[in-house]
C-alpha cells in the first residue's frame, strides 16, 4: 500500500539552513548536506530544499548545495525558490534534484509549468501555492514570499496548474504557517478531493496529531520544518505513532 510521506523542509540561504517564523526571525540551524543526511537516516520520505538567497548572483552557491546533497543522500528531494525559467529547472535537475517547485514565477507566467512538464515530465514539476483565507470561505493565492495578494482563487489556480502539467501541489497555508496549531484541514481536504495529483500539506505542524489529522483529510504528504529542526517531533517516533493510528508509513520498523 502506498505510504503517506513525511517531508522535512530546509530553507537555505547563502548555502546554510535557516528557518523563519512566518518568514521572519530567521535562525541558523545547520549545514544542508549534514541535516539532509540526518533526516534521510531518520527515514524522512523526501526532502525539500528551499533557496531563500536574496541575490540571484549567489545562485551558484545553491547549485553546489544541490550537487552535494545529491551525492550524499539516497531519497528523493525537491528544490524550490528562485525558479523562474525552464533553464532554472535544467540547472537544478542536472545537479541531481528529483523535482522542482515553482511558485510566484508560475503565477506570473503559467506557461512555465507546461514548458517544464513537456521537457522534463510532470513527475518533477511541483506547483507550490501560498494560500490565505479570504474570510468568505475560500482562499487566495499570494506571491513574493507571501507579500502580495494576486486575487487568484486557490482552487482555480491549483486546477489550472494541474491542467498545465503540474504533477503535485504543495499547499502552504499562510494562516497556519509558524503557528504550530495544525494544518489547514479544510483547505487540504478541498484540494485532495478536487485534484487527481498528490497534495503536499504545508504550514502549521505542531503535534503528531496534526499529521494524523491532515492525512485523514486527504493529504498525501505533510511538510514541516521547525518541529523537526528544533527536535520537538522526532521522525521515527512520528512514523511509529502514525502507523499505530492506521496511516500507512514507510518502514518505521526498518
Burial readout 72-106 (b: 16 or more C-beta within 10 A, e: otherwise): ebeeebbbbbbbeebebbebbbebbbbbbbbbbbb
153 included as an active-site residue: no
**Residues of this chain, 203-242, that bind other proteins according to CB under 8 A:** 220-221
Catalytic residue among 51, 88, 130, 184: 130
Catalytic residue among 11, 45, 88, 210: 11
User: Which part of the chain contacts other proteins (CB under 8 A), choosing from 26-34, 192-200, 205-213, 225-233?
Assistant: 192-200
247 binds other proteins (CB under 8 A): no
Provide DSSP, 89-105.
Answer: HHHHHHTT-SEEEE-HH
Q: Which residue in 25, 74, 87, 137 binds other proteins (CB under 8 A)?
A: 74
Residue 58 is given by DSSP the state G
Q: Which residue in 43, 65, 166, 201 binds other proteins (CB under 8 A)?
A: 43
Q: In terms of CB distance, is 130 or 220 closer to other proteins?
A: 220
C-alpha cell at position 14: 547563502
Distance of alpha carbon 61 from alpha carbon 135, whole angstroms? 41
CB of 35 to other proteins, least distance (A): 16
**Residues of this chain, 117-136, that bind other proteins according to CB under 8 A:** 121-124
Of the candidates 56, 76, 158, the residue with the CA atom closest to the CA atom of residue 123: 76
Alpha carbon 237 to chain centroid distance? 21
Of the candidates 153, 138, 125, the residue with the CA atom closest to the CA atom of residue 184: 138
11 included as an active-site residue: yes
Q: Which residue in 65, 169, 197, 217 binds other proteins (CB under 8 A)?
A: 197
Q: Which residue in 130, 168, 177, 210 binds other proteins (CB under 8 A)?
A: 168
Catalytic center residues: 11, 130
Amino acid at each position: 500500500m502506498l505510504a503517506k510521506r513525511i517531508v522535512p523542509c530546509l530553507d537555505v540561504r547563502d548555502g546554510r539552513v535557516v528557518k523563519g517564523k512566518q518568514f521572519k526571525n530567521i535562525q541558523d540551524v545547520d549545514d544542508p548536506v549534514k541535516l539532509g543526511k540526518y533526516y534521510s537516516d531518520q527515514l524522512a520520505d523526501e526532502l525539500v530544499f528551499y533557496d531563500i538567497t536574496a541575490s540571484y548572483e549567489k545562485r551558484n552557491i545553491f547549485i553546489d548545495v544541490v550537487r552535494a546533497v545529491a551525492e550524499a543522500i539516497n531519497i528523493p528531494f525537491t528544490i524550490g525558490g528562485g525558479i523562474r525559467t525552464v533553464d532554472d529547472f535544467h540547472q537544478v535537475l542536472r545537479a541531481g534534484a528529483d523535482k522542482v517547485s515553482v511558485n510566484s514565477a508560475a503565477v506570473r507566467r503559467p506557461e512555465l509549468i507546461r514548458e517544464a512538464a513537456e521537457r522534463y515530465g510532470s513527475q518533477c514539476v511541483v506547483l507550490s501555492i501560498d494560500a490565505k483565507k479570504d474570510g468568505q470561505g475560500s482562499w487566495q493565492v499570494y506571491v513574493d514570499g507571501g507579500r502580495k495578494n494576486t486575487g487568484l482563487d486557490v482552487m482555480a489556480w491549483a486546477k489550472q496548474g494541474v491542467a498545465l502539467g503540474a504533477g503535485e501541489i504543495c499547499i502552504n497555508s499562510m494562516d497556519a504557517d509558524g503557528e504550530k496549531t495544525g494544518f489547514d484541514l479544510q483547505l487540504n481536504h478541498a484540494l485532495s478531493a478536487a485534484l487527481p495529483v498528490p497534495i503536499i500539506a504545508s504550514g502549521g505542524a505542531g503535534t503528531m496529531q496534526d499529521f494524523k489529522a491532515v492525512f485523514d483529510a486527504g493529504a498525501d504528504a505533510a511538510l514541516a520544518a521547525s518541529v523537526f529542526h528544533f527536535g520537538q517531533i522526532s521522525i521515527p517516533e512520528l512514523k511509529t505513532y502514525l502507523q499505530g493510528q492506521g496511516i500507512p508509513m514507510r518502514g518505521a520498523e526498518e
